[in-house]
Amino acid sequence: MRNMLRVNQLNITLVSTIILFLTLFSVGSFRYSGFFSGQVFLNLFIDNAFLIIIATGLVFVILSGGIDLSVGSVVALTTMVAAGMLQKGANPIVVMVVVLLMGIVFGFAQGYIIQRFQLHPWIVTLAGLFLARGLCYFISIESITITDSVFTNLSHYKIMLGDKYFISISVVIAIVFVLAAMYVAKYTEFGRTVYAIGGNEQSAMLMGLPVVRTKILIYAISGFSSALGGLVFTFYMLSGYGLHALGLEMDAIAACVIGGILLTGGYGYVIGPMFGVLSMGVIQTIIMFEGTLSSWWTRIVIGVLLFIFIVLQRIIVIQGERNKTIIKRKERKVLVSQN
């Protein structure tokens, strides 16, 4: 009985997100001619590959009970550093390595400060948001166009799926990253420790788990995913600009919430944010097919969905607490009857 309750509680938000995605896609397919197409579906991945990567990295932070508000600014900084280095004639492979290492160091530094000085993640990562965005303008206040042949070839490269359909290299990177994150979360000590910290940090410490090291690594992973997402975003935009990815941190957090990740930590599936991103992408596509609606309707609909999923999460938490109380009472009655 306990296991059945636990499985239902763990699955309900993810199932709700998948149903939401399928419902939105079905509505678009019935309403607009040409919407129900393999390429329209694949375009959801192509256009949102960078956000899938960023949200998947952010999910580890949220699962641990933390938050990272700097992800959008790190994306912008990545585009600026990459574009600036390429403009000066740097080797594109070296540029990719440098920006990824930069993301890891940036995230590691934030994690270390949070853990070393016991500061709230909101404060530290908010400072990181302003720092990364400010560094963009230190490089240049103007947009820098990328003309490097390696980057342009990667940007335009199409991986054909049959005769008509295709995906970009960014989609492959995003899918591989999601699969790797799922493996880490489910099958490694690090992943189990992340869930334990989010569930109850004090209990995790009493169990002898490496809480301090894990919390720092969580932010390093978030920094890496932001830089990788920024690199993919650079392929997509072929430019570096300090105003790139404004508000992207909110989109990533929204994707995690819609994907069933509990903001208080310890609950959710790593694959959930991908479906959250795809659901947001379908909303944008529907508005684009409609033609007469402002793009701000995307924000309105996402806001409504956030309210719904936050309420759903709260109901699940309350129901889970009630179920635990009921089970404990039954166990006590059994012990009393046996004695």
Q: 83, 144 in Cβ contact below 8 A?
A: yes
Q: 51, 278 in Cβ contact below 8 A?
A: no
95 inside domain: yes
323 inside domain: yes
Q: What are the structure tokens assigned to 21, written together?
A: 């995605």
64 inside domain: yes
- Domain boundaries, position 288: 2-327
105 inside domain: yes
What's residue 276's pLDDT? 94
Write the DSSP string, 53-120: HHHHHHHHHHHTT---TTHHHHHHHHHHHHHHHHHTT--HHHHHHHHHHHHHHHHHHHHHHHHHTT--
> H/E element holding 124?
helix 121-139
81 inside domain: yes
What's residue 3's pLDDT? 43
> H/E element holding 166?
strand 165-168
9 inside domain: yes
Cα 67 to Cα 264: distance, rounded to the nearest angstrom = 10
254 inside domain: yes
* Domain tally, the chain: 1
Question: CA gyration radius for the chain?
Answer: 21
What's residue 7's pLDDT? 41
Question: Can you give the CATH number for the domain in which 286 is found?
Answer: 1.10.3470
What's residue 80's pLDDT? 98
Cα 225 to Cα 72: distance, rounded to the nearest angstrom = 11
Interior angle at CA 153, CA 150 and CA 156, nearest 5: 150
* Intervals of the chain under pLDDT 70: 1-10, 316-317, 320-321, 324, 327-328, 331, 333-339
